[in-house]
Amino acid sequence: MKEDWLSFTDWSVRAIMEGRKTQTRRPMKEQPYRENVWWVLKTKKPMRDSKGDVCSELRTNDLGYIKQTLDLNAPASPGDVMCVREALVRGGDSAFYRTDGEPVNDGLDSDVGLWRWKRDVLPARFMPYDYCRTKVPLLRLWAEQLGDISEEDAIAEGIVCLGLDYYHGAKVQWTFYSTGAEEVYPTAQDAYFAKYQEIYKRLDLAEWVWRREWA
């Protein structure tokens, strides 16, 4: 068992803490791609395929074989602990979680919770280990393409239903509850894709992602 550190937006942290978000998808750094009739996967680090062979390049016309190899070389495993990194803000000499304004203090070490940085806001990716307050055990992790997400998966990503819009024919509205005025979407998938594009500044449904699930 190891710890799997991931940075999350304020919106995602809030959804995790409220129990609405039990999935996350992160783009792979090294993407499989098509080359004529072949699927090609190149990695900087050697990878092990299902036959036990070690290589840094895989070329096959079998997409299932590519996916199986990716799953065997996943960055984490079921049973690992996912540690949630979140943004911190300064309040005098103390640190606070930006998500909900709660102070950082474990009650044991007086140094934990003190503001150590020159800037007034610390991005999530720089949050120290001892400031982490949310850890969840991973249940599943595997490779898939972004477009594989279902409506149920999008809801598990933290997308919420606002109810029926009777003004426009009693259509269901979905949103991700960002700060300020919320945009609404006709499906949870649409709302998730909008959030994904906002975070990563791109939207390619063929992009390969690591899908993590927890309870």
In 3-state terms, what secondary structure has residue 128?
Answer: coil
51: confidence class by pLDDT, cuts 50, 70, 90: confident
Q: Which three-class secondary structure state does DSSP give residue 70? A: helix
57-75 pLDDT tens trace: 999 999 999 999 999 999 9
- For residue 182, what pLDDT is reported? 66
Q: In the Cβ-directed half-sphere of 66, how many Cα atoms lie within 13 Å? A: 21
Q: What is the mean pLDDT of residues 189-211?
A: 95
In terms of Cα–Cα distance, which of 34, 42, 96 is closest to 73? 42
Question: pLDDT tens for residues 74-85?
Answer: 999 999 999 999
57 class by beta-carbon count within 10 Å (0-12 exposed, 13-18 middle, 19+ buried): exposed
Condensed to tens digits (0 to 9), the pLDDT of residues 138-164 reads: 999 999 999 999 999 999 999 988 776
d(CA 202, CA 188): 18
Given this model, what pLDDT does residue 132 score?
A: 94
State the Cα–Cα distance between residues 191 and 103, nearest whole angstrom.
31
